[in-house]
Structure formats: C-alpha cells, structure tokens
Amino acid sequence: TGATPLFYMVNCAHPSHVLPTLRDGESRGDDWLGRFRGFRANASRKSHAELDECPDLDRGSPVALAREVAEMKRTFDLRVVGGCCGTDAEHIEAIAASV
C-alpha cells in the first residue's frame, strides 16, 4: 500500500552506543535523522556481548544515563524516550527530571 512508518527509534541501547552514529549522520546531513524520534535506553555502557556474559545486571549510573538521554532528546528532537534493560524507577525518574 506504500505506507511508511511515522518514525524510527532505537530500543535497548546505551546512548554512548548510539550518539556517535547520530552525530555522524548529522554531520553528513543524512535525511533519515528527520524521522528518528525515539529512544529507549539500556542502563549499561557495556556491549550486548559483554552483558550476555555478566553474572549480574549492570544498572550503570542513573544520573549519567539521564544526562545523555536528555542530550539526545534536545539535539535530535526526540519525542519518545524511556528505559529498557537495566533501568528501574530511579533511572526513569532521573530521565523524566532531565528532559
């Protein structure tokens, strides 16, 4: 039917894993950035491979995560933000307070 998605988003990644790609796209003037509107953050800076090997959940730093999500929201005009693996109420409260 030719229908296209309203927007794109990234799920279950740490901002430190996504920001370099977003910044590269921005510097090139990539059109897809105009439809990138959402991000659900993984709390850990570890790669998914590292997390698969961890005996315990790495919850990272709620304050640092919130700061980076807020930067992404402002810089890339995100409409949907939230938390995924490793986040809890403390992370979500910090994100909500920072955006």
pLDDT in tens, 80-97: 899 999 999 999 999 999
d(CA 22, CA 67): 16
- When the pLDDT of each residue in the chain is averaged and rounded to a whole number, the result is 93
d(CA 85, CA 42): 5
Higher-scoring residue by pLDDT: 12, 5: 12
**Is 78's pLDDT higher than 90?**
yes
d(CA 39, CA 17): 12
Write out the H or E segment, with its range, that includes residue 33: none
* 8 bridge partner residues: 36
pLDDT at 48: 86
